[in-house]
Chain A
Amino acid sequence: MTEEPWLDQANNTPLVQIRGVSKKFGDVTAVDNVDLDIYQGELFCLLGGSGCGKTTLLRMLAGFEFPNSGSISIGGQDMSTVPAYERPTNMMFQSYALFPHMSVERNIAFGLQQDRMPKGEIADRVHEILKLVELQDFKKRKPQQLSGGQRQRVALARALVKEPRLLLLDEPLAALDKKLRKQTQFELANIQEQVGVTFIVVTHDQEEAMTLSTRMAVMDAGRFQQIGTPTEIYEFPQSRFVADFIGSANILQGRVTEDSADHVRVDTELGEIYIDHGQQVSTGSQIWVGLRPEKITVSKSAPETPGPNQCKGVVDDIGYLGEVSIYKIRLDSGTIIDATAPNRIRPMSRTHAITWEDEVYLSWEPSSPMLLNT
C-alpha cells in the first residue's frame, strides 16, 4: 500500500465510496449531496461545528440511518439494503454505549459471540485486545466501575475486536479532560497504525483532526467545504470558511491586478500583495486574501526597499501567551491585523521589545498569502 493512496486513483479502489448522499430530517437537511472516497488504511477525520451533520453521515455508514438519495458502498458492496448488523463496520459511540449489565470482558466478547466464534478463540481475542488497550486488570469490572479514560478504551476495544474493515468513531475523545485527550490522541493514532484498520473519526476539535488524520474533510451545514491532508487544509484553504475555521487568519478583500502562470498580484488594504505561485483567478476579479498571523513578521525598523508584501501600522494591543505573543496591529484605515511572534528571548529588559503604540512594519513571504475564492 502506498502512503497516499488517494493520489494514485488508478491503482487503488476506495474502501468507502459515498456518492451524492443526502439525508433529511423533516425540513432539516442534515447531509447535503456529499461525495467522498476513503481508502484502505486511512485515518480520515470529519471536522465541523456542532450540528453540521457529521454524526448523521457516520450513522449512515454504520447503517443506523439510510440516505434519502445517493449511494454508499463499502468494500465495493452497495449498502443500501444492508442492515447495521451485517455491515463490515463497527462504531465507537460518543456516549461509548457500554452495556452496563455486562463486565468489561463480556462487553468485548459480545460482538464475537454474535459471529458464533468458538469459546476458546473468543477468550484469546478478548485477551489480546485487552492487552492492546492495557485493561487486563479490569476485565471483571462493570463499566460503571471504570474511570472515563478506561471506559473510552473499553469502547474502542469492543469496536476493534471484531476486526472490522472500517471503524467509525464519533467524537472518541470529547468526554475526556484536556490532558488525557492529548495523550489519548497519540495512542489512538498508534493503535490505528498497529491494527491497520481504516478509521473515520468525527470531531469538532480542529487540533485533534490535524494531529490524527491522514486526510480530513471540513464540513459545514451538511456539505464538505474542503477535503485534503492537514497541511493542504491549513496552508491552502480554498474558502474563507476553511481559512477561518482551521487556525486563524487575517482575511482581506482585494482585486486581482495581475494574473500570470507563476505569480498573482492583488490590491488590498495592506497594499499590493504579491503571490509567487499561479492560481485559478482572473484579472480584475474581486477576491479574498488570507494571511496567517504566524507568517507575518513584525519589525520596528523600516524595510530597506519599498515593494509589495509590506505595510505599516501601530501596535494596538499585545497578548502575551508565554510561548508566543499576539500583536494586534492597527492600520491607518483602522483595520486590525493579527500577527504572532515566538518569544525566543526572555523579555527581561523591554527596551528593544515591541510595545504599545509603537510604530511597526509588517512583512511576509510571497509564498504565504492564501487566495480564497468564496
Chain B
Amino acid sequence: MQGTRSRFLTVMITLGMAFFYIPMILLVIYSFNYSRIVPVWGGWSTRWYEVLFFESPEVWAAVRLSLQIAFVNATCAVIIGTLAALAMVRFGRFRGRTLFGGMLVAPLVMPEVITGISLLVLFITLQQLVGWPAERGFTTITIAHITFSLAYVAITVQARLTGMGQDLEEAASDLGAKPFKVLTAITIPRLTPALVSGWLLAFTLSLDDLVIASFVTGPGANTLPILIFSRIRLGLRPDINALATIIILVVAVCVAIAALIMYRQHKRDLRDEQLAERGGG
C-alpha cells in the first residue's frame, strides 16, 4: 500500500518536473545552435551569443529600461505599500477602513487588460489637461507598475504586521520611545524580511509584466518583455533563445543565493536554540 502510493507520487512528480524543465532545456540547447532556423540543428556554436552581445544594442537598452523601471517601482511600492499596511493594521478603526482595505487589494483581482486600459485613459486625459506626462515611456510604465505592485507589498507587510502582534511596539513606547522612534527602531527592523520579500516580489512582477506595459508605453520605450514579444511574433529567433538562456542563468543564481541565505539563517536559529538550552543559570 505504502509502496504503491509512493511510487505513484514519484511518477507524478517526475512527470511534472519533466513538463516544467524539458522546454527550458530545449531552449538552452537551441541557443547554442548554429542554424538561423531554430528547429533545424546546425551544430554547436556560440554565434547567437556574439550577435546578442555585440550587435544588439536595442536588447541591452530594453534590459536597462526594464531594470530601471523594476528598481524604481519596487522601491516606491515598498514605501507606499508599507504605509498602507501600517494604516490598516496599526491605526485602529478609522472611517472607511474596510473600503480602503478592499480598494488596496482590488488591483490583484482586476484583469490586467482593464488596468492597462484605464491607466492609458488616465495618462491621455492628464496629458490633455495639464500637459503631463508629455510622452509615455519610463514614467508611465513605472507609475502603472507601482499601482499593482503596492497591493502585493501591502498584503505581504500586512500579514507580517498582524502576525507580529503589538507587544514589542508597546514595550518600546513604555520605555519612553515616541511614536516615530518606535517606527524606526522597532517596527521597520522587525518588518525587514517582509520588506525585502515585498521588494523582490514587486521587482519580479515589474520585470515580468507585458500586458500593462504594452498599454501605457509610448514609441521607442521597449521593456524587455515587449521587445522579446515583438520579435517572437515574427517567428522564433536563435538570438532570443540566447537571451532567454542568460535570463534563466541569472534567475538560477539568484535562487541559489536565496537558498544559501535561508540555510545560513536556519543554522543560526539552531545554534541560538542550543545556546538557549545550554544557557542554564
Contacts and interface: CB of A to CB of B under 8 A. Distances in A.
A138 interface: yes
B176 interface: yes
Contacts of B190: 100-101
A129 to B, nearest CB: 13
Contacts of A14: none
Nearest to B279: A147
Interface residues of A, number: 34
Contact of B175 (A110, A145, A150): A110
B177 A149 contact: no
A50 B98 CA distance: 32
A115 B276 contact: no
A101 B236 CA distance: 52
A62 interface: yes
Interface string B254-281: 0000000000000001001101110111
A147 B177 contact: no
A145 B276 contact: yes
A93 B171 contact: yes
Contacts of B272: 142, 144-145
A150 B281 contact: yes
Nearest to B277: A147
A144 B186 contact: no
B147 interface: no
Contact of A97 (B168, B178, B189): B168
Interface stretch (A28-36, A83-91, A184-192, A341-349): A83-91
A260 B281 CA distance: 58
A4 interface: no
Interface string B71-90: 00000000000000000000
Interface string A80-122: 0001111001110101011111000000001100110000000
Given A145-B276, A149-B281, A84 B170 contact: yes
Contacts, number: 81
B276 A144 contact: yes
B55 interface: no
A238 B178 CA distance: 45
Given A145-B272, A147-B280, A85 B171 contact: no
Contact of B177 (A97, A114, A141, A158): A114
Contacts of B273: 144
Interface string A132-150: 0010001001101111011
A99 B181 contact: no
Nearest to A135: B281
Given A95-B167, A145-B275, A115 B176 contact: yes
Nearest to B275: A145
B57 to A, nearest CB: 46
Contacts of A83: 173
Contact of A114 (B170, B176, B275): B176
Given A84-B170, A144-B269, 16 more contacts: A62-B174, A64-B174, A85-B176, A86-B176, A90-B174, A97-B167, A99-B168, A99-B172, A99-B186, A114-B175, A114-B178, A146-B275, A146-B279, A147-B281, A158-B175, A162-B176
24 contacts: A64-B174, A83-B173, A85-B177, A91-B170, A91-B171, A91-B174, A95-B165, A97-B168, A99-B172, A100-B190, A111-B176, A114-B177, A114-B178, A114-B181, A115-B176, A145-B272, A145-B279, A146-B275, A146-B276, A147-B276, A147-B279, A147-B280, A149-B281, A162-B176
Interface of A: 62-64, 83-86, 89-91, 93, 95, 97-101, 110-111, 114-115, 134, 138, 141-142, 144-147, 149-150, 158-159, 162
Interface of B: 165, 167-168, 170-179, 181, 185-186, 189-190, 269, 272-273, 275-277, 279-281
The 10 A-B residue pairs whose C-beta atoms are closest, nearest first, are A111-B175, A114-B176, A97-B171, A147-B279, A145-B275, A97-B167, A144-B272, A84-B173, A145-B272, A85-B173
